[in-house]
Amino acid sequence: MPPESPPVAVPAPDLPASTPPIHPSLLELFIAFAKMSLAGFGGVLMWARRGIVEQHRWMTADEFNETYALCHFLPGPNIVNLSFVFGSRFRGIAGGLAAFAGLVGPPMLIAIVLAAIYARFGEIDALRRTLEGVACAAVGLLIAVIFKMATPLVKRRDVVGLLVMLAVFVAIGLVRWPLQIVLLVAVPLSLAITIVTRRKVKA
């Protein structure tokens, strides 16, 4: 019998070193922000973070905090700024417009209908009590978002960042200092702390 020939080595298929991230399409941006806006009773921030960070994983928790911080210091509603900045990051101006349309369009139509109903039946006590209950739920959702957004700082044990956050809360929420003055001090201070901290880490 002839000797068996050695098995021929089959070359392994070439695999990419890293799979590029899947960017949302214009339709996905519109639908995602439409869902956020329709679910966001009393505020969209909580649902925006859940959708972007936890559900779709389009951003990390740190990236979301950084983007929201930027939008917070731009003129206009924070969440509206976030929708346009986020959409533009993936699909340019068209993506920003798609996310903005999804965020604003459906609630605007609902608000027009509800405004007409409230103008006719706004004096009913049951309706007023319902609105008071919705306001309480909105406050609870906002507090929940604050704790979630502070989680990355706690995990990194960023004591300085937590102290700055607490100082801003005390200055605006308790001492009642003007928002503009607090921001003029807090923003440069935060930037300086970040720069010094990163230089120490690199050193």
How many separate domains does the chain show? 2
| 55 and 81, same domain (yes or no) | yes
The single residue listed with the structure tokens 């070359």 is: 11
User: ∠18-22-24 over CA atoms, to 5°?
Assistant: 165
| 109 and 200, same domain (yes or no) | no
| 166 and 82, same domain (yes or no) | no
pLDDT at 95: 93
Domain that holds residue 202: 158-203
| 177 and 123, same domain (yes or no) | no
Q: Using a cut of 0.85, tell me whether the model's pTM lies above it.
A: no
pLDDT tens for residues 116-155? 887 777 677 776 777 777 777 777 777 777 777 778 777 7
39 falls within a domain: yes
Note whether 37 and 102 are within 8 A (CB): yes
| 148 and 196, same domain (yes or no) | no
| For helices 78-121 and 26-39, angle between their N-to-C axes, nearest 10 degrees | 50
Q: Which residues contact 65 (CB under 8 A, 6 or more apart)?
A: 149, 152
20 falls within a domain: no
11 falls within a domain: no
